[in-house]
Amino acid sequence: MSANDARKQSLYFPEDMLNEIQSQAQRLDRSLSWVVQQAWKIAKAELRKVPSPNDMLDDDPAAQRG
């Protein structure tokens, strides 16, 4: 996938979160899409620190292996 590959995707946000995103978009004179993309770029390193359910299973020696 190229860096300029634009695909449509519907995302659903709680109303209060969407209102905050809209406020920031207006403040920055940017689109909602741009704000969400920037938020993702900032947050993805933090999200990588959150363990996945599979990681938790790997830590459990009693977990069954498939």
Q: Measured between alpha carbons, how far is 16 from 23 in angstroms, rounded to an integer?
A: 11
8 A C-beta contact, residue 39 and residue 25: no
Per-block mean pLDDT, blocks of 10 residues, the chain (66 long): 76 96 98 96 94 73 56
- Whose tokens are 């406020």? That residue is 23
**Helix H or strand E segment including 15:** helix 15-28
As a whole number of angstroms, the distance between CA 27 and CA 23 comes to 6
pTM of the model: 0.67
Residues 35/24, Cβ–Cβ less than 8 Å: yes
